[in-house]
């Protein structure tokens, strides 16, 4: 095998193996979120399968081209069908999340890593080199270069420009091309290559109509809600992000109406600057001309999607596509209210947006006397460790906050937390031997 051909094949292996990992992590977000407890095991299982593939490849002693060609073809099927949106939804549809996750990782992602991991050890047997280290080093160079370009171009290029389906289809077709390059195809092999390509096309071209980006899947659908007139729901990563109906004035999701009540009725905001971290469906400012709204969301496409498919009119306010924490750290502007409504799945807030440091940064973005409003989804009794710890974390930055559970009888409920800008002081506990309650009460204005 000529060096150029060999390195091209190794490059394709690296490009598609890491590309499969990037796509898999993106496909998991709507179903299990993107927290570290999801991404770290996924990457770990992928690397384990890759290591086992290296070992399996080192044991191949004959039919080098045929083995690599077969591996590429099988990996193309797994990528083209297993990583398609319909394939992933078939795995997760109705199954317990943990069980479906294990099936997806163990049956789709890891087999691809194992098959493609065999490529470099096998093909180094066909390299002309005076030293084994030279052969391995050059092969690993092209494989790793492919991995780098695969992760960058698929995540920042294909997914951003066309959607996740295009990255899946490109990877599958590249693997079919690699299988054809490794071993000159015979008539039967040509049929197999064409069949795999057709399967990948059918499985993914239908996803062109899906509204998905590198960050999330979006769907707008009609739903039924008591007291609402033909409501439509804005789903982000298969979870309800916002509601709006056809009545005049429109009705919104209960938590949005509660936030609007706090801002407009309770606090009587007029002519104020309000920062909203997490766009949702942009309904907080919908037909609300009294105040100035700035939305911050990580996905630059969410505004156009919401305007076209959900609101069906222009968003009221300014939109900035950036990370919420980065914005509150870097902005020099201060706001009368900061509304935190950030989720990557139904109950999953990105990990860097739950820490004390984030809430302190959000506090610094407030004007003196400003208010922070956070929409959380917690258990109705606030008894879980997550609920207790998250509320305690917020109050460590603000002092005592108001906590309102909107549906106390439900296992999971929207919880609205209201805090005022302050330098939180450590509270003094009243005890029998030192009770300052009467003095403190007399100081209340």
Determine the Cα–Cα distance for residues 28 and 25; give it in Å rounded to an integer.
5
> What does DSSP assign to residue 125?
G
**pLDDT at site 426:** 67
How many angstroms separate the Cα of 4 from the Cα of each of 11, 35, 139, 218, 402?
Answer: 10, 41, 11, 43, 66
**pLDDT, average across residues 13-41:** 90
Beta carbons within 10 angstroms of residue 39's beta carbon? 16
Question: If you average pLDDT over residues 361-376, what whole number do you get?
Answer: 94
- Looking at the chain, the whole-number percentage of residues with pLDDT higher than 70 is 94
What does the pLDDT read at residue 203? 75
Range in 104-118, 134-148, 175-189, 199-213 the model is least confident about: 199-213
> Helix or strand or coil: residue 16?
helix
Q: How do residues 272-306 score in pLDDT, each as one tens digit?
A: 999 999 998 999 999 999 999 999 999 999 999 99
Q: Please check the confidence at residue 237 and state whether its pLDDT lies above 90.
A: no
Residue 352: what pLDDT?
Answer: 86
> What CATH architecture applies to the domain 217-420?
3-Layer(aba) Sandwich (3.40)
Check whether 210 has a pLDDT greater than 90. no
Structure tokens at 96: 């317990």
Higher pLDDT, 165 or 94: 165
- State what percent of residues in the chain have pLDDT above 90: 61
Global pTM value: 0.79
CA–CA separation, 337 and 259 (whole Å)? 11
Q: Is 233 helix (H, G, I), strand (E, B) or coil?
A: strand
Burial 196-219 (b: 16+ CB within 10 A, else e): bbebbeebbeebeeebbbbbbbbb
Mean pLDDT of the chain: 89
CATH 1.20.1250.20-classified regions of the chain:
3-212
Pairing type for strands 232-236 and 239-244 reads antiparallel
Closest CA to 207 of 193, 195, 219: 219
Q: CA-to-CA distance for 94 and 189, rounded, in angstroms?
A: 37
Confidence of residue 208 (pLDDT cuts 50, 70, 90): low
pLDDT(346) > 60: no
Domain limits, CATH 3.40.50.150, in the chain: 217-420
Residue 236 is predicted with a pLDDT of 87
What is the predicted pLDDT for the residue at 366?
A: 94
- Crossing angle for the helix pair 64-77 and 110-117, to the nearest 10 degrees: 160
On the question of pLDDT at 164 being above 60, the answer is yes
Task: Please say whether the beta carbons of 48 and 184 come within 8 A.
Answer: no
Q: How far is CA 190 from CA 62, 96, 107, 246, in A?
A: 23, 40, 26, 55
pLDDT at residue 137 is higher than 70: yes
Q: Compute the average pLDDT of residues 137-147.
A: 91
For residue 130, the model assigns a pLDDT of 57
Per-residue pLDDT of 401-413, as tens digits, reads 999 999 988 889 9
Question: Is the per-residue pLDDT at 104 higher than 90?
Answer: yes
How large is the average pLDDT for residues 55-63?
Answer: 92
Distance CA 109, CA 39 (A): 13
How many angstroms separate the CA atoms of 386 and 390, rounded? 6
When comparing pLDDT for 29 and 67, which is higher? 67
- pLDDT band per the 50, 70, 90 thresholds, residue 349: confident
Least confident of 107-111, 163-167, 419-423: 419-423
Q: Looking at the domain 3-212, which fold is it? A: Growth Hormone; Chain: A; (1.20.1250)
Banded model confidence at residue 344, pLDDT cuts 50, 70, 90? low
**CA 413 → CA 4, 269, 381, 403, 405, distances in Å?**
59, 26, 9, 12, 7
Judge whether residue 424 has pLDDT over 60.
no
């Amino acid at each position: 095998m000529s060096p150029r051909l060999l390195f091209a094949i190794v490059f394709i292996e690296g490009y598609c193996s890491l590309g499969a990992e990037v796509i898999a992590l993106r496909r998991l977000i709507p179903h299990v979120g993107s927290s570290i407890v999801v991404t770290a095991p996924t990457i770990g299982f992928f690397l384990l399968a890759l290591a086992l593939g290296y070992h399996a490849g080192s044991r191949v002693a004959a039919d080098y081209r045929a083995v690599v060609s077969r591996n590429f073809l099988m990996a193309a099927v797994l990528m083209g069908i297993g990583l398609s949106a319909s394939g992933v939804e078939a795995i997760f549809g109705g199954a317990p999340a943990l069980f479906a996750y294990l099936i997806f990782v163990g049956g789709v992602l890891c087999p691809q890593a194992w098959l493609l991991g065999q490529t470099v050890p096998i093909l180094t047997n066909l390299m002309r080199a005076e030293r084994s280290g030279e052969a391995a080093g050059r092969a690993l160079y092209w494989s790793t270069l492919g991995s780098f370009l695969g992760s960058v171009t698929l995540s920042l290029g294909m997914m951003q420009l066309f959607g996740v389906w295009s990255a899946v289809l490109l990877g599958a077709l590249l693997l079919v091309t690699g299988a054809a390059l490794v071993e000159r195809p015979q008539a039967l092999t040509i049929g197999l290559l064409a069949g795999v390509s057709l399967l990948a096309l059918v499985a993914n071209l239908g996803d062109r109509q899906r509204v998905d980006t590198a960050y999330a899947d979006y769907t707008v659908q009609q739903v039924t809600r008591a007291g609402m007139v033909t409501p439509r729901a804005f789903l982000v990563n298969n979870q309800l992000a916002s509601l709006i109906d056809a009545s005049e004035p429109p009705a919104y999701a209960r938590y949005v109406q509660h936030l609007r009540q706090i801002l407009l009725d309770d606090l009587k905001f007029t002519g104020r600057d309000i920062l909203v971290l997490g766009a949702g469906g942009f309904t907080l400012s919908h037909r609300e001309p009294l105040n100035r709204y700035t939305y911050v969301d990580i996905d630059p496409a969410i505004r156009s999607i919401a305007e076209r498919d959900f609101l069906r009119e222009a968003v009221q306010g300014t939109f900035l596509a950036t990370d919420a924490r980065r914005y509150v750290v870097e902005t020099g502007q201060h706001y009368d209210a900061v509304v935190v409504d950030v989720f990557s799945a139904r109950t999953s807030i990105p990990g860097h947006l739950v820490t004390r440091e984030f809430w302190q940064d959000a506090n610094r973005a407030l004007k003196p006397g400003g208010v922070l409003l956070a929409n959380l989804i917690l258990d109705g009794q606030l008894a879980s460790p997550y609920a207790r710890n998250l509320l305690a974390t917020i109050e460590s930055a603000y002092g005592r906050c108001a906590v309102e559970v909107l549906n106390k009888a439900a296992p999971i409920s929207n919880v609205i937390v209201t805090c005022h800008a302050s330098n939180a002081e450590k509270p003094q506990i009243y005890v029998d031997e030192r009770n300052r309650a009467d003095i403190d009460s007399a100081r209340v204005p």
